[in-house]
Copies of this chain bind each other. A is one copy, B any other.
Amino acid sequence: MDVAIIGAAMTDFGEREGWILELLSEAGRACLDDAGVAGDAVDHLVVSNMASGEFEGQTGTMNALASDLGVLPAYAERVDQTSASGGAGLQTAVRAVASGTSEMALLVGGEKMTHRKTAESADIVASVTHPFEYAHGVTLPSFAGLVARLYLSETAATCESLAAVAVKNHRHACSNPHAQFHKPITRSDVLESPLVADPLRLYDYCPVTDGSAALLCCPVSTAREYTDEFVRVTGIGGATDTHLVQHRPNPMQLRAVEESGQTALSMADCRPADIDVAELHDMATVLEPLQLEALGFAEQGDGWKHAIGEAIPSGPLSVNTSGGLKARGHPLGATGVAQAVEVYRQLLGEAGDRQVEADRGLTCNIGGFGNCVTTAVFEGGA
């Protein structure tokens, strides 16, 4: 694919003042500045956002943002794929450039959530579930609990090995200035936190977060006009699994992750072993090992070994160096974009204290409980 990322930015994640437009503007403006590109060079603006209408009674944010950033008369649209909205927006921006209809596409993902009571936020997020399952009380955190129970019974994983995911991602977030949490935690902290959906506890889950992240995409053929250092998007893939989780033969098998991963890796002409850094969707700890398995980094039932430091067949892989959803935070529409921002920084060697050696990266963003998934593969070097 002939698509380059030439700029990236994100706001601080956490509890933020103001309304959604202010967050989106902050990230969008910082991204343009990062690339040294003027707003009027942008011809396509993609806003990734799940629910500003429900959270704030405000829609039309893509139009408000287009005005605010001075990118008029750029085409502006909002893309929603629930908690995978950011990853979906990335696919939209990449397709816009790859189709030849855009010369400069700005992607800005964001969500403003913390001003609502936790129960209200939970209700808005739960609106993604099929009404039939929701009526029976099954929400995304409870699906994670059910699947974690199954995972612990069918594999050698323990509550401790799942807690290790949270511990690792909190440790990473300490080196990410934009992360919501800068506090290392121990396995005991996780195992002694309040039970949410047995066997998962409070510290097994990501927090509620405000924040925004942005990326600027253009054809590789023109990227050098703007910068010597850019990242290429070499593969994208998206897939959907059954909307009713109960219709899946094996709920531990994230089929849309498998499918989207295969599409993206094959488009990028890569194998899992070629990937050095990955940002995965750890809404609950158990999802990180499940994605490692579904993406082909680990054998079925072995994904949990990565977080406790055991070798995995695909070789060295740094996962969620940003802190992941768990500790960087999870402002729904921003998450998939923030994942790509982290991979961009890692591939350019701009990741500061959390820098790892990396030539190729991957992001996996999940909507619903694996209902809709986008995966992207990136390569550094001009």
Contacts and interface: CB of A to CB of B under 8 A. Distances in A.
Given A101-B236, A127-B53, A62 B241 contact: no
Contact of A51 (B53, B73, B129, B130): B53
Contact of A129 (B60, B91, B131): B60
A4 interface: no
Given A73-B255, A98-B101, A100-B98, A62 B78 contact: no
Interface residues of A, number: 64
Interface centre among A58, A74, A80, A124 (most CB of B within 10 A): A80
A333 to B, nearest CB: 12
A280 to B, nearest CB: 19
A220 interface: no
Contacts of A130: 60, 64
Q: Is the interface of A mostly helix, strand, loop or mixed?
A: mixed
Contacts of A243: 60, 63-64, 66-68
Given A60-B367, A77-B91, A95-B95, 18 more contacts: A19-B131, A51-B53, A51-B59, A53-B54, A54-B59, A59-B82, A60-B128, A60-B130, A60-B372, A63-B240, A67-B240, A72-B241, A75-B239, A77-B81, A91-B101, A92-B95, A98-B100, A98-B101
A68 B371 CA distance: 13
A204 interface: no
Given A63-B367, A244-B67, A73 B256 contact: yes
A110 to B, nearest CB: 14
A79 interface: yes
B368 A73 contact: no
A242 interface: yes
Contacts of A237: 75
A238 interface: yes
Contacts of A78: 79-81
Interface in A227-252: 236-244, 247
Contact of A76 (B71, B73, B96, B372): B372
Contact of A60 (B74, B92, B94, B368): B368
